């Protein structure tokens, strides 16, 4: 099975090769404007995959809020919101939006979680699904133990999560869940843009799985990283 992994687009929408499964791990627009969201959904619609799955990131305030606050925004967002709602609820959706929820494809059980960890001096405009790590523990405990493929926005602590300041920016709660409880085959995330890459990891003493930081942009928001392809 051909799986393409991508995260942290921040308004850059690359040409993709197509395949079986497309996994997107959050942060899709640069500024969250309606025009950018429309561009993103149009781009997603034209990607040639059997199944497309998206998870939100901390820049995706639109996805966290789900519905606009006032009547003016309601009118402006109506088409986009209804489109997202229909896609997320329809059995024949062009894509599947996961938020602490799961789906299946090709015999694989797939779970998506958008949460990431709060840190000092975080941009106050980028707080979608951001909580402290104690609160994240509750959210990540929802990941079923029989999950095969996991999509999160944040990395686990210590796995492809080193920031430009040299510290580990991933979630300790997620690390505990992934390393000690789950038996994954693939874990896809982004968020720490300067640590994009792929690693083969080990659960506990023996079981191996693949970790992918699929960030498309680097720490300077330049789209320098190609989508990462995994064959399962």
Where residue 67 sits, what CATH number does that domain have? 3.60.21.10
Residue 40: what are its φ and ψ, rounded to 5°? -60, -50
Measured between alpha carbons, how far is 150 from 147 in angstroms, rounded to an integer?
7
pLDDT value of position 73 = 52
Burial of 130 (0-12, 13-18, 19+ CB in 10 A): buried
Measured between alpha carbons, how far is 100 from 114 in angstroms, rounded to an integer?
7
pLDDT value of position 120 = 80
User: 3 Cβ partners below 8 Å, 6+ apart?
Assistant: 19, 20, 21, 22, 23, 149, 186, 229, 230, 231, 232
pLDDT per residue as tens digits for the range 101-134 = 999 999 999 999 999 998 887 888 889 999 988 8
DSSP 8-state class, residue 165: T
DSSP 8-state class, residue 226: P
Report how many domains make up the chain: 1
Residue 177: what are its φ and ψ, rounded to 5°? -70, -45
* pLDDT score of 81 more than 80: no
87 pLDDT band (50/70/90 cuts)? low
Measured between alpha carbons, how far is 147 from 108 in angstroms, rounded to an integer?
8
Which strand (E) or helix (H) includes residue 151? strand 149-152
Helix (H, G, I), strand (E, B) or coil at 49: strand
Residue 208: what are its φ and ψ, rounded to 5°? -100, 145
Task: Provide the CA 176 distance to its chain's centre, in angstroms.
Answer: 19
Cβ(174)–Cβ(156) below 8 Å: yes
pLDDT per residue as tens digits for the range 102-111 = 999 999 999 9
207 pLDDT band (50/70/90 cuts)? confident
pTM: 0.89
Task: Provide the CA 39 distance to its chain's centre, in angstroms.
Answer: 18
Give the domain range for residue 131: 2-231
């Amino acid at each position: 099975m051909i799986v393409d992994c991508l995260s942290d687009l921040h308004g850059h929408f690359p040409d993709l090769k197509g395949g079986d499964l497309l996994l997107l791990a959050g942060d899709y627009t640069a500024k969250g404007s309606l025009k950018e969201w429309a561009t993103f959904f149009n781009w997603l619609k034209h990607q040639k995959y059997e199944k497309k799955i998206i998870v939100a990131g901390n820049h995706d305030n639109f996805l966290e809020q789900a519905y606009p606050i006032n009547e003016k925004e309601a009118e402006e967002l109506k088409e986009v919101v209804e489109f997202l709602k229909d896609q997320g609820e329809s059995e024949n959706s062009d894509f599947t939006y996961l938020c602490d929820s799961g789906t299946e494809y090709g015999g694989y059980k797939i779970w998506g979680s958008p949460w990431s960890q709060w840190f000092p001096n975080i941009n106050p405009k980028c707080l979608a699904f951001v909580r402290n790590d104690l609160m994240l523990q509750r959210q990540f405990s929802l990941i079923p133990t029989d999950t095969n493929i996991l999509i999160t926005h944040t990395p686990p602590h210590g796995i492809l999560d080193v920031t430009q300041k040299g510290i580990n920016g991933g979630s300790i709660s997620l690390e505990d869940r992934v390393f000690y409880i789950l038996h994954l085959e693939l874990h896809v995330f982004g968020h720490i843009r300067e640590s994009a890459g792929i690693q083969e990891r080990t659960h506990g003493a023996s079981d191996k799985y693949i970790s992918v930081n699929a960030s498309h942009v680097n720490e300077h928001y330049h789209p320098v990283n190609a989508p990462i392809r995994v064959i399962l």
